[in-house]
Structure formats: C-alpha cells, structure tokens
Structure 1
C-alpha cells in the first residue's frame, strides 16, 4: 500500500466488498485517513471492519482482559505460532487505536491497555519457548525441586505499565540459580537452557514475517550489553550491579518490572536489585547523573539535527521522566512509597511526601499525559516508533485526524506551551543555572560590523601592537565575508554577533596569541550554518573558554574541532573533559553511546563509533597537553581506546556475518574461534595520536564444512569474510572520518598471504619460514581480541618462537642488516628521531635483540611487549647495567614524548640539545651490543 495522500482510498477500495451500514462509509473514511496501520490491519483482517465501526462493540472489546493466543496451537508449529502472535497484536492495537480516535478511553487507560497487551504477548511467547525447550532438553529445577522459571524484566515504559503504541521493548532475562535440566534427551546447564529459551522468545516477538512483527526487542540494557551473556543468574546479576553498575543503570532499573511474576522468585529478584537502585541515605548524586544523561541526549539531538521531538526535545516526555525519577532516587531509599515503576503513581507519592506541591504535580501529570497522547497518535499513524512532529501537510493531517483535532497551528502551539512548562520544572529540579547575560562588548561589535579599513579599526585594539592588531582585524573581516557568502540565516547571525565580541574579550583576558583567533574562527566557519552549536557555545561560557584554551595550546586540536564539530559537546563540562577513564570506563561509555543507535542502522553505528573515538581521543589530548596525564599513560589510554573500539568492531562484524551465513563449524557467540593480534605500537601499548593499527587475524577452524545459516559458505571462507568485514567497518571513510587505518602486511607472506589464517599455520610459518625481522616483530605482539582458549594458544606460540636458541652472531648480523635497510629506505637525517642513529627504531631493535638473544634463558624478557618493561627485565637479568636501563628508558620517553608534542603542539617539543643527548645515550648502547 503506498504512503501517498490517497493511501486511504486504496484501503477503502479493497474493503468495498464488505457490506456497510448506512452512514458507515464516512466513518470508515475518517478512520482510514487517520492511520495507515489501521488500513493495513483491516485489509489483512477484514472481519474487524464491522467491529471498528461499532463504538459500543469497541468499548466492550478493549475492556476484555487479554487471553493467551497460543493455547490451541501445536508447540512445534512455529509458523502458525508466529502468525497468531502477530495477528492478535495487530487486531488488539487496531481496536485500541480506534478507541483513541473515537475518544472512548482516557490516555491513562490506553497506556495501561497497551502495556497489558504486551505483558500478555510476551508471556505467551515465553511459555511457548519454555515448553518447546522443556520438550527437547528437559526441565530445570530449583532448590525446592520445583520447575525453575526464567524471569523477564521489562524496562522503561513497559516496566512502568505505560508503554507506547509502537515501541521497542527493553528486556533483561535472568534465572534463580545454576544446575542441570532433568528428563530430556541430554542434560543442559541452566545457562544453556535459558539462553535457548531467550533466543526463541526474541525470535517469536522480534522477527518480521508477512504478518509483521510483535515487538522490536532490545536486549542492550542487560549487563555488559551486546557483549554480555543473553541470560544471567541472580548471583551474576547481583555481582555485576554491585561491582560495575553505572548511574544510568540505576535510572533504567528504577522502572524494571518482572513481567512473568513467579511470586517467590520475583520478590527475591526485586530485593536483590533494590540496594543498587535506592540508597539508604539522601542521594543528591542522582542530580549530577541526571545532568550527564541529559547532556548526552542534547548532544545526540544536535548531532542528528532533531527538531520538534516531543520525547527528547527540551520539555519533552523524557524531562518529565527525569524530574520524577531523580526525586525518586534522591529519597526513595528512605521512603518505600516512592519505589514505584509507574511514573503517575510516583508523582502521587512525591506530593504525599512534599517533594512536589500539588499544583506542580498536577501540571506535570497533565502535561505528561497530553504529550503521551500526542506520542500515541504519532505512532498509531504507521506503527512506527517516532516522537517527531510531522513537517509535511499530509502527516499533519493524519495526526490531527487521529487526535480528532481540526487546527494544526492551535495543536502546535499547545505542544510548544506544554513543553515550555515541563522544561521550566525540569530546570528547577536539577538546579540548572542559565548562562549569565554577556556584557555587550562595544569594540567587538564594532570590529565585526564596521566597514572601516583594517588599519583604522586596528587602533581600537590598544592591547595589541599594530601588526598584530591589523592581522586580527583582517581575520575578522575575512570571516565576515565568509558569513555573507553562506546561508547562515538570521538566528546564526544573531549568535555570531554575540559570540565574536565575547571571543575577543576572552583572547584579550587570556593574553592569547592572535593566531588563536584564526583557529577559533576556523571552528566557527564549520558551524556557522549549524545554529545549535553556536547556541551551545554562547549559552555555555565554560565551553567557549575551553575552546579558546585548547586552540591556544594546540593547532592539531583546533583542526580536530573544526573538522568534527560534534566534539564541541565535550567542552561543556571542563571537569569531565580533563578526566580520563580506565579501560572499563571506555567500555561503559561506548556502550552508552551505542544504546542510542538502532542495531540495524549500520551507517549510524559506524558514525557513532567514529564520533566516540574522536571524543575520547580529544579528552586524552586535553589531559595530555594540560599536563594531567604523563606520557606513558597517554599511550596506555590511546591503546585502551583502540582495543575497546576494535572489540566492538569485531562484535559488530561477527553479528552481521552470522546473521547472513550462520555460525562456522565449532564456533559459538561466546567463543568465535577468531582472534586479533596487535603488532607494533598497539602491541607494545605505545600508540600515538593518529597511529595506524598493525593487526593480524587468526582463526581455529579445522573444518571445511559449511556454516549453519540459510546462505551457508565454507567455514574457513567465513573467517576470511569476517576479517574483510572488520577492515571495512574500521577503514571506511564516513562523514566522521576513518575509525583507524589498519595495516595487515605483518601477517605471514604479507599482502600475498591469506587475510585470516589458521593459528597452526601461523605457528608453522613463524617456526619454519619467518625472517628474523618477523620474529623481532613478534616481540611487540599481544592478542587483544579472542577467547581465553585462543589467548592461551597464542601466548604459547609466542613463547615457543621467542625462546628458541639462536646463533648470536647470525642474529646480530640480521638485526643490523635490517636496521641498515630501514635507514637506507627512510633516510637518516639528524632531525629524524625515529630512523636516525640513536633514534626510536634503534632503541626498539635493542629491546627486540635482547629478547630474541636471551629469551631462552630469561623468560621474564618476553613476559611483556612494551619496551620499558622489556628494558627493566634486561636490567634484572644483568644484560644491561642499571645506568644503561635508566638512560635508555629516559631517552625512549623523551623521544616518544617528542612525537606526541609534535602532533599536538610543535612549538612545545623538547629542545634540540635534549633530543641530541637522548639519541647519544641510545647510540652508545647500540655500539656496545652491535660493535
């Protein structure tokens, strides 16, 4: 059915064969004009037609409790089960939507009924999936010898029994305890049994068929997100939230509700979660957590250019939820009545305990229900999860018809007024301080707007010498001309006219070089047509101050901010900007980024990965250049960041490949039989800004049999395609650039070798065919992605190769020959601290030589892959004196620091004399080892 203005006529024509009562044609036309979904459902289930045209019958139908639609279907008839679930869902939603259009139920009643329908269908699918596995694999039992259930936690609006008309459902699966099934063909661990139940349940609800879908299921709120197990035991769930639970997960769990209540186990689960969600003390940290989450939403709105969004926009549904949930978290640990999943029930409790006045709560409730009513109507148009007001006349007409309202301007104004009231209450709760009015700076306004010559205007800048003043005015005039050539718009001009005077004032007070103005204006040029970012800088003075500070300290950072304006969001909170994370925090931040992205939107996933990497790299660079992060830790953080990002890339590639081809022989989602080995700087935990990643892909597949999917391929070919997919996801250039440049030439046989090779072949090559330089490269390797099984296998291979006894003279000759080859190829100019005598390569070759020459005697030499710890081990083994170790380590840190500084701020690199001293120290040791 086409989605044009006459879509309803197609549906009407298709239903013409049904006999209609007098006057019903006009009634039917009104329904069809209101909703594409309703038209589709009536065409698929024409027996509904007479029912939706009878208001009394509609009221009677929606008042009936839901029943199990699968009660009379054979367990193994999956096609029939999937069809019945979808048709039942569409029928029920069609009746509820009709009731909304006829105004036969309140918004509260509609939300409750949509939620009750979801509970019914989820439970029906669960019972089918459980019984199917029970039939095949036996029954899990608890400690009391009773069949053990899998408990389903409904999150968000489903948990609060206030579900959207066409919503994703966020679920978490858990079970009481470990054990094995009994009574089946073979015993299964409970974890395996419930994983199979969960997988079948998701397929029953999520999979799209000719009858549509039941619910889009999102499992990413579970512990560890996509990388975590699908189902966890109560004990594992408790351990995770106690040890690793994040603030945003407290907000998520606040609305968690067991959808298939087994009284004993459900009560146990809720008690288990309660200490994590609610604190015993008054918890004002919830407000700061809220600010951070709201900031993430605002960033996403700017990045995706969201406008007219009644959920995520300022004053939208999410802000009502934040107000209520924050107050719940602050005092909910001491006031059990506030421990409610339902927002409306929680509002009542907040009034009773004087955390909101009756008037405040009444206004919030009224505004919330109005916005939810509009949201339900928006989603009822075409069964899509949208909260954005339509911009086209036909979409607006459909919304008006669904709401039974005639006037679009009046509706839009009511929405605007409602969201303004909500936002005001939101700001009061989080104690948000609006940016103070900026002082009107007359000189700045004059410079930006005047047509006078540069020399005349330069006289106004008394704090600069004449040449600098003229250069500054010239930059401003060029910027003004650029603004005139581009479609900046009135609002953009308004903010630029406010921002530039403030910028000049900041440059003056910071006594910054006039070069800084050019750098900041370079950022402004990139965002002048994106008013949201201009507004961000004006409304957040600390962000503008940080922009000036970073542009003062580093031209590279200025270029990054100009190239990727979304990084400006990172400047809002200076404390967070300069606070770097540990590896677990990088994983958690990435998980939060990806939660906002639909799993099937590959293009957006690739963008978000790149944006995340750039944002974290900006934080590392800011901490680096401010002196908050020592050199060794800079490389650690850049390496951790790359590992976390590449782990996600591999997981995404695996998900896409298995969805298309199925699993290769011997592989599972938990143990893919695939590994990524890092060489070079990444292997040595020594990444710099902009470093390439040297990677080798390994697999453990011994079978030539086909994969398990609908489009099977040779299992070994699967791994080749998987490696290619990883490269595609990482190296494709999008609007946000390349994730990482990846070099795979260090694999056996280089570019002529297979992209993904069997780990046994890898070992054989290193043992029998590899050149000495390839074994040198092995010293700086780590397996960064792979199962424990592959990790163990790789480290054994690495140890076996490195600890082989070698002819000392031959090894020394091979190392010096390769060193000379590199020097000939790259040159050896005195200012080249990498390849010149005593440079970084010489120092790395010293470490690698010591490991290969003495690894068989001193295993500690190859325990680590980074040069600093290798040198420590060489000193402890007596291969280098304490003075030599210290001299080499200090030289290495200085030379690597030079590389970082050269990228960030060339003017701040070490002096030539210090570099010369460092190279001299390295060269002295080189001459001793390689006379």
Structure 2
C-alpha cells in the first residue's frame, strides 16, 4: 500500500458523503470547504447536513462562502459561530442560499442583512401589512426603499422555503409587501413634489394578483389610478398633478439602479389600456365602464382593491365599481367573451413553449383562474360569499356554496398550490419573471428538491407536474357542468343545492337559448339511480362543454338526447362513450356543428361506433365500397331492395366523411386555425371531394347493377353500358350538396343489333334513375344528365358510334369544354376508356383553340354571369357565380386547358386545382396568380361545404340566420364572433381572384 492511499481513501469517502448529501460537484465542494473561509465549520456534520437539505447544496455552499467572505472584519467568526450554534438560522439562511442566486447576490452586496434571519418571534411568523409598512418606514429615497424591500423579501423567502409559511400565506405576504412598497413609493413621490400632492387626492387600486393578495415573487404589479381635485383645485390641474405623482411612483418601483429593481408597475388594465389617460376621476371611470368596457375588464375588476393613497377615495371607487362587476353576467355574449379571452391567452403561447408553460398552457394556472372567475361572475350576482379576490378563497367559497363538488375543489386546490409553488421556486432562483419549466436536468433537479422531491427529484417532479396538469385540464367541465348535473339529478327530490332558477341562469349564461328545454333533456338523461344515468352524469360534462363552445348548444344537446334515446339500451353505446374519450368528444362536435351530420346519424344511430375507432373516420377506398355494395345488391330480392341497401351504405359513408371533416380528421396537423395556409386547408378539401366522389361512384355502380338485373338476362346481355361522370363529379370536386352529372354511352354486345342494344340501354338508364329517385329517408343522389349532347333535348343514351358522329359534325364549344371533366365511374370499363379516348381530341385540341372558339367561351361566360345569378344575390358572396367564385376560376382553368392541353400533357386532368398547378409549372400562369386563384377556389368550396353541413340543404351563398352564419364561421376556423371577419376575408380573397380572372380570361 502506498503512502498516499489513506489520503485517497479519505478523499473518496468524503466525496461519497457529499454525493449522498446531494452535492453534484464534490471536487468544488471540497475545495470550498477546505479553503479556510468557513474555518472549522467546514468539517461540521450539522452544517453539511444543512447544506444537503437545500434545493441545491452546491449553490448553497458557494453562496455561503461568498457571504462569509463579504463580512466586515470581525464579522466572519460571528456569522460562522452563529450558524454552528443556531439551527433555525442555519436552516433559514442555507435554504435561501440553496434556492436563490438572486437573494444570495443581495446578501453579498449587503452582508450584514443575514441578521434579519437570526430570530423570528411568534409575531414575525406571519407578518401583515402593518409589519411591512414598519419595515419600509425609514426608506427616504428609492435606493433605500429597494434595500428595505429585498430585506423583507429575504424573510418571506426564508419562511417559505423552510415550511413556516405555505403557498397561500407566502402569496399574501408578497402582496402585502407590494402594498407597503407602493405606499412608500407614493410617499417618496409626494415628498419630491409636495406642490402636486397638495393639488389632488390620488388613490391607487391594486389589480390582478396584487389586488387578490396572491402575488408572485417576481411579477408586474397591476394598478389603476383614480384621482379627484383637492378642495379649491380645478379638475384639469388636479389630474395633471396626479398623473405626475403616479408616473413618479411607478418609476420609483420600476427603475433599475445598482440596488436592482423592485418590479414593474403596470397600469394597462385601466380604461382604454395604453391608449387611455393614466389617471382618471371616479366619474370618468364609471362612465367608461357603463358605456364602453369589455367583458374582460369586469373580469379584471374582480380583484380590484384599494392599496395606496387616499383611502376614502379608494373605498369610494370600490363601492362604485362593485355593482358593475356583478352585473356583467347580464351582458350579451358574456360567457363566449370570457371563453374567447381564455382561448386568446392559450393561442398567444409559442408552440415550442406550450408544453413547458406553468401559467398559460393547457392544464396551467390560467385554466384554474379563468374557470373560477367565470363561476364567480355568473353566481356572485346573487351570492355575495363568492366575491373574494383570491383564487383559492373563491374556490373554497364555490365549494361551500355547492357550485363545485368538494372533491373537485380539493383536487383543484392541490393542483393550483403545486403549480403556483413551482412558479415561485422558478422565480426565486434568479429573481426573474418566468413561467416556463426548465429543460436542463440540473435546473429540474433543483426545482424538484425545492418542492420536496428528494429520492429521484427529476422523475418525481415530472410525474407530479403531469398529474396536476391533467387534473387541471379537466377543470372546465368539472367546474362548469358537474354541479348543474348533480342538481338536475336531484331536482325531483327537492334536494338540489342549485335551484331551478339558478340552473336556468347558468345554462343561459353558457349560451343555451332555451334553458327550460335543456334542463328537460338533462333530467331525462341524467336523473335517477340507474347505471345508465350514472354513466350519463360522467359523460355529460365533456359533451356540454363542447355544445356550449359551438354556435348552437341547444341543437347539440337535443341531438345527443335523440341518439341516446335510440341507443340507450344498447350495451356498447354508453360504454363506448365512457371508455373512448375521443368518441364522446367527436360525437359532441358532430352533433353541434349543424344539421347534416346529425340527420345522417339519427337515421342510423349505430354509426356512432365510427367515432370511437381510430380508423373509423378514414375514408374507405372506392374498391372496398364497390365490393360491399355489389355484394349487398347481389343478395337483395328486388331492385328496390338493392338500391335501398346501396343507399344505406352511402348514408353511412356520408356520415363518416362529414364527421371526419367536422372533427378535423382530414386537416393536416396545425391547420385548424383560420390563419393556417389556404393550401393546407386544401388538403382536407381534396380528401372530402375524393371521398364523396368514391361514395357516389360506388352507389351509382350498385344502382346500375340493380337496374341491369331488372332486365331479362337476354336483354341485359345485348349491350354494354358505361356511365361517364361529368362536372364536379368527374373532377373529384363534389361538395355535400352536389348533384351527380353523368352521361350514358352504350354499344351493342357481340351479335346484338344496334336498335335492340339502344332500347336495352335506354331501359337500364331509365331504371337506374327511377331507382335512385324512389322516396327514401336517406339523402338523395340526384342524377343530372343535362351535359349530354344537345342537352335535355338530346337522347338520354347514345351509342359510342353516335357520340363519335355527333362530336365530328355537330359538337359545340361548350360541349367540348364539358368533356374536360369526363371520367368513367361505372359500367363497362373498356367502353368507358374508349369514350375518353374519343373525348381527348375535342377537349385538348391539337394546335389549341381557334380564336372564334375563345370568343365563344368568353361570350358564354359573360352571358351566364348576366342571366344565371339569382335575383337579389350578392355578387360579392355568391360562391358559384359571384365575382371570383367557383365559376370564374374553373372557366379560367378550363380555357387554359383547351388552349394548351394539346401541347402540355400535365394539363390533361379533370381537377381544377391540378390544372392550375400544371399551368403554373408550364409557365402559363404566374405563381402569384395561380396561388390567388387556388386560394379563392378552395375557400369558396369550403364555404359551400360548410353551409351544407350547417343547414342540411345546399346554398351557394352565406346564410343570413345569425346562428347558421356563426356555425359556418366556426367550421372555417374563426373564433366566436368572427362572422364579420369571415365575410371580409371572403370578399377580399375573391376580389383578388376576380382581378386575375379578368386579366387572364377576358384579356389574354
């Protein structure tokens, strides 16, 4: 054994002891302990244990060495000896040094202030405003005030970090310290300008967390200023003087010097915000709140509290604005306004930070605060017990009053305390304002240890955070709806804490226009002691939340009752909704989005099962649909039964498509908001168009099979028949309300005569149309054959030879244009392909279009604009024939296809968007022009789909009914109240498109 081995073993043993105590850099720790700065205390196990109990032992040791080094001569030994002898002081000081670099820096600048932690008398454990005022009383200038403020902050942090104070006490102490600081700052400002002080009475109203006595360690302090002239002073001079005093008071707190800064004073919650005067008279405040204030301003006034200046004026302000706060619930759109504000707060969080946000993100502090404040505003009008400013006090009052279940309130209380405490610890570290969870392991470790997680700090912290955030995410439905349902369930027994009138009021505030009917539905669904009712009471909070967030909550709730009445005895229905969270949420969104999807669902409620299957909302391939329908049609006893089966499959698939569209299953991730790029919305639109085309093609093929089977075997064998899709059907651009444009082509089978084949083909086509027109509860598939040669005057079915002869001799330019979208969808595949080969030279003429043909197309377009726009329709908002609408863009694309398709193969497509893209790639369209046309076409198509989903009937313009307009806006991604913006955006987009059309279609 070498001579150095014992030394090495001692070093390793010492390192091990430090690591076990939580040090992460034992080498640096040994160096500091052996430096002699701490003397014999460096070997003291009690000191090492004290360091090991802190959030960051390495940080605590470094801070302690700095503090001892900074002591004046003779002070080092006193500090070290006191630490060794006094465990309470050691715990307080080391806890602060291990959690806060910022306070360690303050102690290093003012090394004597550690003595503020020497002893806490019983009266000092929970100081109030008077004690803090006394602590700041001697501060005669801003720097003295900053030093006194940080000295007081040091004692608050010490109590907090050692567990002498809980979160609520700490937040209240911080608010009281802020109040005392504001008073001291105003005193300094008045002393600097006694002339101004003599001209006015100035009151400072605390807002936000300061007003609610729940302040953070580092936070802006929100205030409002109200002033009145002193006796004998005019209002103008008084307000000018008050403004100077208020501005100076704010600078005293906000300016940064060598002593640091206290905090920013924020007066932006005042009337008109930054644009309004800093100081107003009481009458000016009241006039603004009565005439101009928005809902969020009354929400902010919930926490208003006089904190400094003229106490009598402050109380007068509070008495005057209080009634206005509790009347705010009567305002139109009150709840939607509050909810919109909450969504705006969430959307303001950068995507990269959303999952780290303790305050603004999903499951964060704002979720709790907004929900509690909304319930206060809704019920505080009639229940004064709910009018407290602090969130936890208000939550307790809501629980005591029966507005929130006690278990729910306890869970939210615990989650709120955890999140706020984590926020406090984060801010204490460097005394900086932050709400973001750290990402680096050392910082997570420090935070976890500061919250009491000592075994696996990072893992335990993350698990607790996820648990609490998940609980808070559910707060909206728990707080808003659970008491309502519990009340409904007990109404018959007269045991409900929440009476009928209060339930009506709550439902009305949440957007239900017929609260009485809504209560009846809830009672029917949730009353009783059956298992079904119990499951409904579990489900309804999520559903009601979605209904209230829609344009027509009443329709959503009514639809849910109808579906539940139809399926309530089916074992799988409620189990699906209970166990598959996505199914319940998707159902609520589908039922509240308009009429079409609920109507489809109510005709076959078992389609609810699609909403719980991850694959359930994916469009089925055309081949699978063809196979299913063909098999079902083949088993049917009669043609009528066969088509009924095919229609049933179509109904189910239409519901699948509409539901997927409504819940956003077709939209690319991140494209749900209206600000998303229009081309991203186009991806969802293309999927809808493809799905609807495949559904109709499969249905048409099934009907054709049934119509053919209705003929005798000999007749059926006499001809081959193909169905050619035209128009939007052939372009895969169907909307929910589109007809199916088709033409029929036939040819004799081998050995059959022309005349007999023509008769059979005519019989089959007529039978197909008849079968699809049979009365039914299923959505109709309307067949339109007007695009055949000679239009409605021509024969319904032509032979291939007849088509060839007609197109060779008589075809008009519009008929060639109509062929641009021709595509076989049913019947004889080979015949369909030959028809397309026949059409190609007409729709893509070699050498391009003659000039007279171009003029004819332009003439036809102009005539259509003049004659076909419905009387009274607004050309600026008609999606099909209006300026910059579908017709404008499609005719422009088609003219390019007919002029250049012979030379540019990429233009040979039946799809409008693909044609525009091909023209751009070929240099026939400028990229900007192509984008303008594409965006307008996508928007107009989405509007048509939205209108059909909402109204259940097709319409080519925006609905006039306010609820329907609001529902269309929601489908398009606009927030509540966005109808005006929707219309403005539509007019702007189509106006730009019209400008391109006039230049390209009419002038080029």
TM-score (norm. length: structure 2)? 0.45
Larger Cα Rg: Structure 1 or Structure 2? 2
TM-score (norm. length: structure 1)? 0.48
